[in-house]
Amino acid sequence: MLELEKAVETILASVPAPKSEVIPLADAYRRVASEKIQASTALPPFDNSAVDGYAVRAADVASANSRNPVRLQLSGKIAAGEHFRGELSAGQCIRIFTGSTLPAGADAVVMQEDTRTEPTRPGEVLFLDSAKPWENVRFHGEDVKLGAPVLRPGQILGAAQIGLLAASGVARVSVARRPSVALLATGSELREASSESGLAPGQIYESNRAALAPLIAAAGGVPKIFPIVPDNAEATRAALAGALAECDLIVTCGGVSVGEMDFVKSAFEDLDGQLQFWKVAIKPGRPFVFGHRGEKLLFGLPGNPVSAFVTFLVLARPALLRWQGAEKTGLPISRGLLAEPLSNLDHRRHFIRISLDSEGFVRPAGIQASHILSSLAAANGLLDVPPKTSWAAGTTVPVLCWE
Ligand code: AMP
Ligand code: MG
């Protein structure tokens, strides 16, 4: 049996290099960058005001306070977006707004609340407070210097990164192409949830494709759902052949253990696919197949719903991300505190479904058997517990999150 890290390493080593495409920034949310972008404009692009108020020379208002206001001559107004050509001279102030260009000659902005105007003297402003030099001034380039990196390859574009790129004037961005991922469920007992005739004795509703499709999409893949594959060699081969023809990656579930009804491995080999291993030392999810045919990769997940879910997250998801050149391929980690003692008496490492509450406490989410979906649905994370390990209540533990 393979250790998980070794299995992930083997899988990642088989992932082909990412292919890139250039797309509008507006479509880039959650895509993986495939280029480095350096700022072609500094941010802010010019010195500007942080508040609504008056641009002044700090020295002119140095003595101002509410009992002894300083009176300056109002010499102009700079609206946001306006190109101001004038210059501020001693004894003058200029009306200015948040984001307006700081006029030449000014070295501070006094906010409106610290000033007063008198209807009888419209050309003047009274300053009730002093200003330190450069107070309320936002400097050219203090956010991003000209030429500074604003994107690096492998970075996942979140909302904030997209905002930074837009502020830098980037309208199109080179990102990795998303892999198309065939999603196949095998099992003659499986019925579509939409089936109008309901379940005959011995049948169950197929659920793995429904649960895995969003995980695939969240990892940047484009899931393509194939019809349920009955347990026979011919149907399995035909389905895999179709998946290999249409998609970059293939995720199957079921049909990979040693049962005589398990056809995925032999069908893949019949189609000239090469299998690399089929057992990983984790619970849930021991029977797991990884194979490839050329650049196309096969992830044969076990059929039990929780096993399929967990093996997808720890074994297939990293490959989807690496396929897109993502620099980080592991699940996001949060820290929590065990609310009760927890042990894994097994000789296999156990991914335990837990709930991490808003106070940071971690509790098992229910029965941990690999067919129990309700505890998975009650969970919001997995605890990676090494074999033969007991943790006391209060232990700080890393929680793997998938959403
Ligand atoms: P298998 O890996 O094919 O031996 O399946 C293991 C268990 O998971 C069996 O109880 C199957 O009925 C169940 N199972 C397999 N595939 C699915 C699926 N796609 N949806 C729900 N249950 C499944
Ligand atoms: Mg089966």
Strands 274-279, 287-293: pairing is antiparallel
pLDDT for 260: 61
pLDDT for 75: 96
Is the Cβ atom of 304 under 6 angstroms away from ligand 1? Answer: yes
Strand, helix or coil at 238? helix
pLDDT for 258: 72
The residue among 312, 288, 297, 302 whose CA lies nearest residue 218 is 312
Spatial separation of the C-alpha atoms in residues 241 and 243, rounded to whole Å: 5
What's the Cα-to-Cα distance from 239 to each of 200, 210, 254, rounded to whole Å?
24, 18, 14
Spatial separation of the C-alpha atoms in residues 118 and 268, rounded to whole Å: 86
CA of 304 to the centre of ligand 1 (A): 5
> Kindly report the CA angle at 8 between 243 and 381, in degrees rounded to 5?
95
CA of 186 to the centre of ligand 1 (A): 8
Residue to mutate (ligand 1; options 231, 304, 307; most atoms within 8 A of CB): 304
233 CB-contact burial (10 Å; exposed 0-12 / middle 13-18 / buried 19+): exposed
Using the Cα atoms of residue 134, residue 103, residue 82 and residue 70 in order, give the sign of their dihedral. Answer: positive
Is the Cβ atom of 213 under 6 angstroms away from ligand 1? Answer: no
Is the Cβ atom of 180 under 6 angstroms away from ligand 1? Answer: no
Spatial separation of the C-alpha atoms in residues 187 and 45, rounded to whole Å: 61
Is the Cβ atom of 303 under 6 angstroms away from ligand 1? Answer: yes
CA of 236 to the centre of ligand 2 (A): 12
CB 225 within 8 A of CB 183: yes
101 CB-contact burial (10 Å; exposed 0-12 / middle 13-18 / buried 19+): buried
Is the Cβ atom of 227 under 6 angstroms away from ligand 1? Answer: no
In 275-372, alpha helices (H): 305-311, 317-323
Q: How is residue 227 written in tokens?
A: 């019809």
CA of 259 to the centre of ligand 2 (A): 8
pLDDT for 280: 87
The 8-class DSSP code of residue 322 comes to H
pLDDT for 296: 98
The residue among 122, 128, 132, 138 whose CA lies nearest residue 75 is 122
CA of 209 to the centre of ligand 2 (A): 14
Using the Cα atoms of residue 227, residue 230, residue 231 and residue 234 in order, give the sign of their dihedral. Answer: negative
Omega of the bond leading into 398 within 30 degrees of 0 (cis): no
- In tens digits, what is the pLDDT along the chain, a chain of 403 residues? 678 999 999 999 999 999 999 999 999 999 999 999 999 999 999 999 999 999 999 999 999 999 999 999 999 999 999 999 999 999 999 999 999 999 999 999 999 999 999 999 999 999 999 999 999 999 999 999 999 999 999 999 999 999 999 999 999 999 999 999 999 999 999 999 998 889 999 999 999 999 999 999 999 999 999 999 999 999 999 999 999 999 999 999 998 777 766 899 999 999 999 998 778 889 998 789 999 999 999 999 999 999 999 999 999 999 999 999 999 999 999 999 999 999 999 999 999 999 999 999 999 999 999 999 999 999 999 999 999 999 999 999 999 999 8
Ligand nearest to the CA of 183: 1
Is the Cβ atom of 253 under 6 angstroms away from ligand 1? Answer: yes
The DSSP code sequence of 33-94 is B-S-EE-SS-BSSS-EESSSEEEE-GGGGTT--SSS-EEEEEEEEE-TT-----B--TTEEE
> Kindly report the CA angle at 313 between 331 and 183, in degrees rounded to 5?
140
Nearest protein Cα to ligand 1, atom 12: 189
Say how far residue 104 (Cα) sits from the centre of its chain: 43
pLDDT for 1: 63
H or E stretch at 165: helix 159-167
Residue to mutate (ligand 1; options 204, 264, 372; most atoms within 8 A of CB): 204
Is the Cβ atom of 135 under 6 angstroms away from ligand 1? Answer: no
Is the Cβ atom of 69 under 6 angstroms away from ligand 1? Answer: no
H or E stretch at 115: strand 115-116
What's the Cα-to-Cα distance from 304 to each of 41, 52, 253, 285, rounded to whole Å?
53, 62, 8, 8
Is the Cβ atom of 187 under 6 angstroms away from ligand 1? Answer: yes
Nearest protein Cα to ligand 1, atom 14: 303
The 8-class DSSP code of residue 112 comes to G
Spatial separation of the C-alpha atoms in residues 13 and 41, rounded to whole Å: 39
Give the phi and the psi of residue 161 in degrees, each rounded to 5.
-65, -40
What are the CB-based long-range contacts (under 8 Å, 24+) for 285-293?
Answer: 285/310, 285/311, 285/351, 285/370, 286/1, 286/348, 287/256, 287/257, 287/258, 288/7, 288/256, 288/315, 289/256, 289/264, 289/265, 290/7, 290/10, 290/11, 290/14, 290/315, 292/14, 293/244, 293/268
CB 245 within 8 A of CB 177: no
Of ligand 1's atoms, which has the minimum distance to the CA of residue 207?
A: 20
Ligand nearest to the CA of 193: 1
Is the Cβ atom of 181 under 6 angstroms away from ligand 1? Answer: no
Please give the model's pTM, rounded to 2 decimal places: 0.93
Helices and strands counted in the chain (H then E): 8, 28
Residue to mutate (ligand 1; options 192, 209, 253, 260; most atoms within 8 A of CB): 253
Q: How is residue 235 written in tokens?
A: 């149907």
As beta bridge partners, residue 253 has: 185, 301
Is the Cβ atom of 185 under 6 angstroms away from ligand 1? Answer: yes
What are the CB-based long-range contacts (under 8 Å, 24+) for 75-81?
Answer: 76/103, 78/103
Nearest protein Cα to ligand 1, atom 17: 303
